[in-house]
């Protein structure tokens, strides 16, 4: 099982601030994933071409089972993660974005500004998270119960979670 974490942020890529959201994704995963996984991590600047290239790297050239992105999902001019997703995804899984926005609304009214989604390319599942560190846990935990079965369905690697922390669901 290989998992890629891609932080998408102009300022984190320039070094204006330290990337907190990428490490927060890793910490969250380590809190409930019990099976072995290898992590690869990358920080890229915003923009459709750069983000699409990073996504294709981890779907096609150096494939992973799961890509988690953070950042670039909002309405600002440089926020183009959704546009990159549209050019890379073969199938969109709109329910992921719907659920993440629903739970995020309990935290902040600006949750509806995120255009985050998820999708499949080949045997890789891609899930977008917002850039703010505070969004990582709530969004990842909301959708993760469905992730192991989704990976089964697309022929990706098997992932197990600790049922006492985060129970994943595989229909019988």
If binding is defined by CB under 6 A, does position 111 make contact with ligand MTE? Answer: yes
Binder of residue 110, out of ligand ATP, ligand MTE, none (CB less than 5 to 8 A by kind): ligand MTE
7, 73, 124, 161: residue in contact with ligand MTE (rule CB under 6 A): 73
Q: How many CA atoms lie within 13 A of 41 on its CB side?
A: 13
> Min. distance of Cβ 4 from ligand ATP in angstroms?
15
3-state SS, 38-107, equals: EEEEEEECCCHHHHHHHHHHHHHHCCCCEEEEECCCCCCCCCCHHHHHHHHCCEECHHHHHHHHHHHHCC
Indicate whether 131 belongs to the interface with ligand ATP (CB under 6 A).
yes
**Contact between 102 and ligand MTE per CB under 6 A:** no
- In the structure encoding, which two tokens stand for residue 89, read together? 């995804």
Nearest residue (CB) to ligand MTE, 114 versus 168: 114
Residues that bind ligand ATP (CB under 6 A): 7, 9-12, 17, 19-21, 46, 70-72, 74, 78, 131-133
């Amino acid at each position: 099982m290989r998992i890629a974490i891609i932080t998408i942020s102009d300022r984190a890529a320039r070094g204006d601030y330290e990337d907190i959201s990428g490490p927060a994704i890793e910490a969250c995963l380590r809190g409930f994933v019990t099976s072995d996984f290898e992590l690869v991590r990358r920080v890229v600047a915003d923009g459709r071409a750069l983000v699409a290239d990073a996504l294709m790297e981890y779907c096609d050239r150096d494939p992973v089972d799961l890509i988690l992105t953070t950042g670039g999902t909002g309405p600002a001019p440089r926020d183009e993660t959704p546009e990159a997703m549209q050019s890379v995804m073969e199938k969109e899984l709109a329910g992921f974005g719907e659920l993440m926005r629903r739970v995020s609304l309990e935290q902040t009214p600006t949750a509806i500004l995120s255009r985050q989604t998820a999708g499949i390319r080949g045997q890789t599942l891609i899930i977008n998270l917002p850039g703010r560190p505070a969004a990582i846990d709530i969004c990842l935990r909301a959708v993760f119960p469905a992730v192991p079965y989704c990976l089964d369905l697309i022929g990706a690697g098997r992932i197990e979670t600790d049922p006492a922390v985060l129970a994943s669901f595989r229909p019988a």
